[in-house]
Amino acid sequence: MLPAERALKVISGRWKAVILYHLFDGPRRLSALKTLMPDTTQKVLIQQLREMEEHGLVHREIFAEIPSRVEYSATQLGLSLEPILLALCEWGQHHADELNEMDRLADCIIRPRQARHAHVA
């Protein structure tokens, strides 16, 4: 298996890149992810999160509260995909532009983590 095949196997899935995109900003509860992704079902969202958890991209934390609270966050391995998803986003915009289909795209707001936090220090 080529390394590219392995990478595509890990991130393939209709919603995985979108889930990671939303987790790059910090931990989120399932209900928040569902609100951000209204076109997916909760069952599919949970399935995609579990697959990413198995691949080490997402961490699930269960808080000992009543009712219990679960938050999902991107792991360091998951965060390492941010520049790759940025490149895919930019390529998708270029592709749509070439085919005069820019009106079909949402804005792509992925900024590399280093640039996003450089002004904080």
> Could you read off the pLDDT of 17-29 as tens digits, one per residue?
999 999 998 999 9
- What's the burial of 58, exposed, middle or buried (CB within 10 Å: 0-12/13-18/19+)? buried
User: What are the tokens at 110?
Assistant: 């992925």
Distance, in Å, from the CA atom of 3 to the CA atom of 26, rounded to the nearest integer, reads 28
Residue 118 makes CB contacts below 8 A (sequence gap 6+) with: none
Distance, in Å, from the CA atom of 75 to the CA atom of 57, rounded to the nearest integer, reads 5
pLDDT digits (tens, 9 = 90+) for 81-114: 999 988 888 888 888 888 888 777 777 665 544 4
Would you say the pTM of this structure is higher than 0.85?
A: no
Task: Give the pLDDT of residue 97.
Answer: 85
Task: Give the pLDDT of residue 109.
Answer: 63
